A and B are shown apart, each in its own frame.
Chain A
Amino acid sequence: MGSAPAFAMVAMIGSLAFLAIIVAAVAAGALHRGGRREDATDPYDALVASRFTIPVSLIVPADGAAASLSQAVDSLLSLSYPELEVIVVGERLPGHGFDVLKTEWDLEPKEFFYRRTLSTAPIQRIYGSHRDGRLMVVDKSAAGTADALNCGLSLARYRYVASVAPTVSLASNALLRLMSPALRDPAGVLAVAGHVEPRADAGRVPAFQWIAFVRSWMVTRLTWSRLRCGLGPPQTVVVWRRDALLELGGFSRSATDPELQMLGRLQTSTMDRVKGQVIRSGEIVGRTDAMTLREAARTSWRRQRAVLEALVGLSLFDRSLHHRLAVVCFGIAELLLPAVQGGVLVSAMLLVVAGSVGWSTVVLVLALLTFGNAIGTAAALLLRGAAPDAPSTSELKRLLILSPLEFAVYRPAVALAAILRIPFAVR
C-alpha cells in the first residue's frame, strides 16, 4: 500500500473513531436525561394578562408571493401575549396576495413619519388596519430579507422585536415561551432563538426533515441549554433586543443568513450597550410546512455557507470558556460532523479506486455511518418523547424505522437534487 492510500485509511479509521465517540456521547447524554418529564415550570397565566409584560414588535418579511399572508397575520395577532404589534414588510406587494390582505384587514394607506435609524430601500406606501390597529403593512422596493428586517426594525415601537417568516405558524403561547428568558432578565438578554418544527404529517420526505430537526433540537437540549451563548438552529424564530441591533447597524445585507450572522455579532461585540446573553432555547415555538427536495437542498447549502460566515466572525481568542465551547459545539454539529461523514465515504471510495480495499468496505462503511446516524436519531427521539406535544408511540415507531434511511437515502437524494438541480417537487 502506497503512502496516499495508507493515509486515507488512517484518516478514515480515525474519523470513524471520532464519529463513534460523538455518537456514544450523544446517546449517553440522551439516556441520562431522556424519558424524564420536561414540563415547563414557568407559569404564564400572570404574564399573559399583565401590563408589565414587555411588549414585542413582530416583523414579518414577506415577498410578493406570500398568498397566505392574511392567515399568518391573523395567527400572529391571535397570539397569547398582552401587547404586540405586527409589521408586515413586503417587497412590491400589490398582487393577489396583497389584495386579499388589504380586503380582509381593511388596510388603508397612511403616512407615518418614523425615525429612519437604518438606511433601507425606499418605502412606497405604509398601510394601517381599521380591523386591528396593531397591524402595519409596509410596501417597499425589493432589497432582500435583511433590508426588510431593517425596515421593520426602524418602524418597530417596542423594545423587543421578533422576526417571523410568514410560512411559520406559531403556537398560541409561543411568544411568551420565547420571551421567558428576556422577561426574567430584561437587562441581560440580547436575543433568544427558538426552534421551528417541520410538519411531519404524511409522506417520507417530511418525516426525514423532521428527523433532521429533532437532532438539531437534541443538540440544543444537551449542549446549548448549559451554555450562556447561542447560535440559532436551522429553522428558527428569534426575539431580539431592538437597541442592540440598532447599535450594531442592523442586519447585514451581504450575509447569507442575516439572523445567524447577527447572533454571532451580538456575542462578539465589544460595545458597552451590546452586553448580554444570546440564548438558544429548547422551546419549539412553531411549525412550518416541509420543503421539497430541491428547497431542502437549497436551504442546506445556504445554511452551510451561513454557518461558515458565522464561524469566521466568531473568534475563539479572548473569550470566555462558555463562548469557546459554544463555538466548538456549533462547528462540530453544523459543519464538522457532515464533513467527516462525507469524508469517510470519499476516503473509502478512493481506497477502492486505488485497489487497496474492495466495494464491500464501502458498503460496510455506509452501514456503519447509517446506523451511527440512526443511533443519534433514536437518542433525539428519546428526548423529544419526554417534551410537551411529543409524537405518539406509533409515530415514534415510524420515525425510528425510517431513521437509518435518512442517512442512506434522503441525504444522497438532497445532495443529488443540489448537484443536478433536479426539479424534485416531492414533499
Chain B
Amino acid sequence: MTLDQLLLTGSTVAALFWAALSTHVLYVSRRRTDARSKVATILTTLQDDALRAAGTTAGVGAVKALLDTLSRDMILHTAADPETPGEDFDVLTAYMLNRWPVDDLLREATSHRRARDVWRRAAALRIAFRLRHPRAIDLLAAAVEEDDRDVAAVALALLETSTDARAVDIMIDALRAHRHSAARIATHLERSPVRPLDTYRRLLADADPIVRLWCAKLLGDYPDVPWVESELATLVDDPEPGVRKAAIESLGRVGDALAATAAVGLLDDPVAFVRAYAARALGDLDRSESAPAVAALLGDADWWVRHAAKQSLESMGADVWPVLVRCLDDTDRFVRNGAAEVFQNIGVLDSFIVMEAASDDPSQAKVELLRRIAAAGGTRLTDSLVERAGPKTGPRVRRLLETVGLEHVGAA
C-alpha cells in the first residue's frame, strides 16, 4: 500500500467516523429534546384543576401513555426535581412505584458504584425523602456518613428541611465526625425547622472544640432566648481561640450588657482574630462608651485588628469623635491614620471643613482640629476631601487647607 493509499484510507475512515459521531450527537440531542417535551406535556396536563381534584390514580391514568414512552431515569429525574409540584410528584412516583419495585429505588438510594451514578442516588434519596418512606432518614444518615461529598451535600440539604428530631442528631454527629466541612453542616443546621436549643446549650460544654465553636455560632440566631447571652458569655474563657471568637461574634448579635463586658475583656486577648471580633462585637452592640478601649486597638500589631477597630468605631457613629480627637496626637502613626479615616467616614471631617470654608472668619479651634485631622490623614485624604467638596466648594476648601499649610501633606 502506498502512502497516498494509506492516507486516503485514513481520511475516509476519519470522515466516516466524524459523520457517524455527529449523527449520534444529533440523535442523542433530539432524544433528549423529545423527552423534555414529553415531560413538559405531562406536567402541563397534570396542572388541570379537575384532574388534580380527581386524585392521583386519575392523574396517572391521564398521562400513562406518555409516561410509558419515557425512560425510568427521566421519570426519576423529573420526580426528584424540587421544582416539581407536590401533586405532580405524587402522580410520577405512583406510576414509577407501580411499574418498578420500590426496592429498586431504595437500592439506588443506598449506594452508588461510579461517580456518574451520583445523580441517580441523589434523585432516589430526594424521592424517598419526599415520599416519607420509613427508611428515608436512615438512608440520609448513611449518605452523610460516607466520604462522597456530593452525596453528603444532597443528604444534608434534605435533612435541613426535616421536622424529625433525628435529622438534627444526624447533622450534629456529622459535625463531630469531621468528615465534611463544619461550616457546610452548620449552614443546614441553621435552616432546620427543629430549633434544637437545648442540644446546642448542652454542646457548648462538648469536649470537641469544633462542636463548641459551631454551636456558639448557631446560637447567634436566637436573640429572643433569655439564657443564650449568659451561656455564650461562659465561652469567652474557652482555651480554644476559635471558640472564643465564635462566642463573641454571637454575643455581638444577641447580647447586651453582659456581652459588652465580655467583649471588652477580649480586647486584650492574646490571639489577634479574637481581639478583632471583640472590637466588632462592641460596634454591633453600639457601645460607644467602650470607644476608648476600641480606639486603643487602632495601633494593634495586627492589621486585621486595626481594621476591625476602625469598622467598630465607624458603626458607633459621630458620638466617638472626642475619642478620635485624642488619637490624632498619638505617637503611633497607625493610630493617627486610623483616627483620620474614621473621622472621614463618619462624616465629621466633611461637615467641619465645608462649614469653615464657607465662613469668612473660621473658628481657630476648628481650623486647628482640621489641621490635625488632615495631618494625620495625609495627601490623599486632603485631596479626596477637596474632590468630595465639589467644583463650587472645593476651591474654598483648598484655600482653607493652604492657609494652614496642608494642601499637600504626607501621611503623618
Residues of A participating in the B interface, judged by any CB pair closer than 8 Å: 9, 13, 16, 20, 23, 27, 31, 33-39, 41-43, 45-47, 49-54, 108-115, 123, 125-126, 157, 183-186, 357-358, 360-361, 364-365, 367-368, 371-372, 374-375, 378-379, 381-382, 385-386, 390, 392-393, 396-397, 400, 403-404
- With contact pairs A183-B181, A186-B181 given, residues A43 and B153 touching in the complex (Cβ less than 8 Å): yes
Find out whether the CB atom of A111 lies under 8 angstroms from the CB atom of B77: no
Number of interface residues of B (CB under 8 A): 63
Does A9 contact B388, Cβ atoms closer than 8 Å?
no
Query: Given contacts A381-B25, A382-B24, are A111 and B181 in contact (CB under 8 A)?
Result: no
Contact partners of A382 in chain B: CB under 8 A: 21, 24-25, 28
**CB closest residue in chain A, given B28:** A35
* Residues B153 and A184 in contact, CB atoms below 8 Å apart: yes
Residue from B4, B191, B217 having most chain A Cβ neighbours under 10 A: B4
17 of the cross-chain contacts (CB-CB < 8 Å) are A13-B3, A33-B116, A34-B28, A41-B119, A108-B388, A109-B387, A112-B341, A125-B383, A157-B307, A186-B181, A361-B3, A364-B10, A367-B15, A381-B25, A393-B30, A397-B26, A404-B18
Minimum C-beta distance from A352 to chain B (A): 12
Contact between B380 and A184, CB atoms less than 8 A apart: no
Residues of chain B with a CB closer than 8 A to A381's CB:
25
Please choose the segment from B54-62, B162-170, B182-190, B285-293 that sits at the chain A interface, where 4 or more of its residues have CB less than 8 A away: B182-190
Q: Which residue of chain B has the shortest Cβ distance to A49 in the bound complex? A: B191
- A-chain residues with CB within 8 Å of residue B187 when the two chains form the complex: 46-47, 50, 52-53
Residues of B within 8 A of A33 (CB): 116
- Chain B contacts for A37, CB-based, 8 A: 73, 77, 119
- Cα-based distance from A410 to B272 in the complex (angstroms): 57
**Judging by beta carbons under 8 Å apart, are B21 and A184 in contact?**
no
Could you tell me the distance between the alpha carbons of A49 and B187 in the complex, rounded to whole angstroms? 9
Check B133 for interface membership: any CB of A closer than 8 A. Answer: no
Closest chain A residue to B185, Cβ basis: A52
Is B32's beta carbon under 8 Å from chain A?
yes
Known A46-B157, A111-B344, A371-B18; judge A393-B384 contact (CB<8 A).
no
**Chain B residues with a Cβ under 8 A of chain A:** 3-4, 6-8, 10-11, 14-15, 17-18, 21-22, 24-26, 28-30, 32-33, 73, 77, 82, 116, 118-119, 122, 149-151, 153-154, 157, 160, 180-181, 183-184, 186-188, 190-191, 217, 303, 307, 334, 337-338, 340-341, 344-345, 377-378, 380-381, 383-384, 387-388, 411
Shortest Cβ distance from A53 into B: residue: B187
A416 CB, min distance to chain B CBs, angstroms: 24
**Which of B160, B303, B341 sits near A115, CB closer than 8 Å?**
B303
Closest B residue to A384 by beta carbon equals: B25
Which B-chain residue is minimally distant from A404 (CB atoms)? B18
In the complex, how many angstroms separate the beta carbon of B254 from the nearest chain A beta carbon? 13
Q: Which of A109, A113, A185, A397 contacts B384 (CB 8 A)?
A: A109
Q: Are B341 and A111 interface neighbours, CB within 8 A?
A: yes
B-side contacts of A112, CB under 8 Å: 341
* CB pair A357 B3 closer than 8 Å: yes
B26 & A375 in contact (Cβ 8 Å cutoff): no
**Cross-interface CB contact of A125 among B149, B337, B380, cutoff 8 Å:** B380
Taking A47-B184, A364-B7, A396-B26 as known contacts, 19 extra A-B pairs with beta carbons closer than 8 A to each other, sorted by chain A number, are A23-B14, A27-B17, A42-B150, A43-B154, A46-B188, A50-B190, A109-B383, A109-B387, A110-B384, A111-B378, A186-B183, A360-B4, A367-B15, A371-B17, A374-B18, A382-B28, A385-B25, A393-B30, A404-B18
Bound-state Cα–Cα, A45 to B5, Å: 60
Report the bound CA distance from A111 to B18 in whole Å: 61
A407 to chain B, nearest CB (A): 11
Contacts A371-B15, A375-B14, A385-B32 given; does A41 touch B183 at CB 8 Å: no
In contact, B340 and A111 (Cβ under 8 angstroms): yes
Nearest to B180 among chain A residues (CB) is A184
Known A39-B77, A43-B153: A368·B7 in contact at CB below 8 Å: yes
Complex-state Cα separation, A25 to B189, whole angstroms: 45
Nearest 9 pairs of A and B residues by beta carbon: A371-B14, A109-B384, A364-B7, A111-B381, A43-B157, A50-B187, A115-B303, A367-B11, A378-B21
* B157 x A52 contact (CB < 8 A): no
Q: Are A41 and B4 in contact (CB under 8 A)?
A: no
**Least distance between B384 CB and chain A CB atoms (Å):** 4
Q: Which of B7, B183, B381, B388 contacts A361 (CB 8 A)?
A: B7
Q: Separation in Å of the A151 CB from the closest CB of chain B?
A: 14
For residue B30, which residue of chain A has the nearest CB?
Answer: A393
Closest to A128 in B: B345
